[in-house]
């Protein structure tokens, strides 16, 4: 199969374009996915930091104010984790895909008991006390893709042990509200639970996919325009001029030496070839003229030969 110069050029360019497009697509997809996860992680950090700030505020300002009230009735709002959960549950009404849980292996409030996957994370944090946090991804029962951030919970304030060492030491009002079976036997500085923040990753990933598609479409359009422009330039600067040289060579091969001289503008390789071809044709014309003169001279001499 005979392939023209333009076809060969397009095959090479399309091959390079395909390789470049695939490479750019892979790199762009990886960068955008990492950016989406970084955005999700930032949202998780903001949420868990807000919970920590609420707990610190409650411990420093609310709990001391209610220290005497606990003798008469137990006020859950005096517990820092309870306040953080209530505050972020209010926030969840505006952002239902975000969630915060402060879970304990042996919680006082049954609602703080961990689910199966949360219990596995807490056990991992307990077995690896050097870990400050764990980040992972999971699927919700509804099929949503979420990123979770878990930080271990420890008892670092000895005053907390009044309520969580043994039922006999705990305030009677707390026993009346939650009973003597749960929330006791905790140990100082040991991982007893974890704070969990879950933020949706599906939306950032979907946005990154949309950006990736737009990028690939734009890149394909750019390559298509470049291909068209290069084809026009190759035709004007190379192919058309080479076709003129080819036609002139055909005419010379058929003995037609009186054709117009090829244009030599540009000073590039094709122009240099046209100059050489014009010089060759001029040399051929001169050579043929000399041959014609020699032939005519021989014809004049021949009648006198005996």
| pLDDT tens for each residue of 228-246 | 998 888 777 677 777 676 6
Residue ending a domain, among 181, 208, 235, is 208
User: Is 224 in the same domain as 194?
Assistant: no
Residue ending a domain, among 208, 237, 264, is 208
Tokens read off for 15: 């091959």
* DSSP SS3 for 23: helix
99: confidence class by pLDDT, cuts 50, 70, 90: confident
User: Is 113 in the same domain as 238?
Assistant: no
User: Is 108 in the same domain as 146?
Assistant: yes
* DSSP state, residue 154: E
* DSSP SS3 for 104: strand
User: Within 58-132, where are the H helices?
Assistant: 80-94, 116-127
0.75 cut: is pTM over it?
A: no
CA atoms within a 13 Å half-sphere pointing along the CA-CB vector of 231: 15
User: Is 115 in the same domain as 248?
Assistant: no
Tokens read off for 271: 């122009």
Mean pLDDT of 47-61: 85
User: Is 184 in the same domain as 79?
Assistant: yes
Q: Number of folded domains in the chain?
A: 2
Tokens read off for 194: 């974890």
Cα 90 to Cα 85: distance, rounded to the nearest angstrom: 9
Sheet with 134-139: strands ordered across:
99-104, 191-200, 145-154, 134-139
- The three-point CA angle 12-18-23 to 5° equals 130
pLDDT of residue 285: 66
CA atoms within a 13 Å half-sphere pointing along the CA-CB vector of 164: 20
Asked if residue 81 belongs to a domain, the reply is yes
User: Is 95 in the same domain as 125?
Assistant: yes
């Amino acid at each position: 199969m005979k392939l023209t110069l333009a076809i060969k050029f397009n095959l090479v360019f399309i091959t390079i374009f395909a390789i470049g497009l695939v490479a750019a697509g892979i790199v762009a997809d990886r960068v955008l996915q990492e950016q989406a996860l970084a955005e999700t992680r930032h949202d998780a950090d903001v949420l868990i930091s807000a919970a920590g700030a609420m707990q610190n505020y409650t411990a420093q300002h609310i709990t001391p104010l209610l220290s005497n009230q606990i003798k008469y009735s137990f006020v859950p709002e005096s517990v820092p984790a309870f306040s953080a959960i209530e505050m972020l549950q209010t926030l969840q009404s505006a952002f239902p895909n975000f969630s915060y849980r402060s879970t304990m292996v042996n919680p006082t409030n049954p609602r703080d008991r961990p689910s199966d996957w949360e219990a596995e994370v807490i056990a991992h944090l307990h077995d690896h006390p050097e870990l400050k946090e764990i980040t992972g991804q999971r699927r919700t029962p509804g099929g949503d893709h979420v990123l979770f951030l878990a930080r271990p919970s420890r008892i670092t304030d000895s005053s907390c042990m009044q309520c969580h060492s043994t039922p006999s030491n705990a305030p009677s009002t707390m026993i009346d509200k939650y009973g003597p079976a749960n929330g006791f036997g905790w140990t100082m500085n040991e991982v007893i639970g974890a704070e969990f923040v879950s933020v949706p990753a599906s939306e950032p990933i979907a946005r990154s996919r949309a950006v990736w598609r737009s990028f690939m479409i734009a890149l394909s359009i750019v390559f298509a325009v470049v291909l068209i422009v290069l084809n026009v330039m190759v035709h004007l600067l190379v192919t058309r001029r080479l076709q003129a040289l080819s036609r002139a060579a055909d005419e010379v091969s058929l003995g037609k030496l009186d054709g117009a001289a090829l244009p030599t503008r540009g000073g590039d390789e094709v122009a240099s070839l046209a100059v050489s071809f014009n010089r060759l044709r001029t040399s051929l014309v001169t050579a043929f003229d000399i041959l014609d003169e020699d032939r005519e001279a021989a014809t004049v001499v021949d009648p006198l030969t005996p």
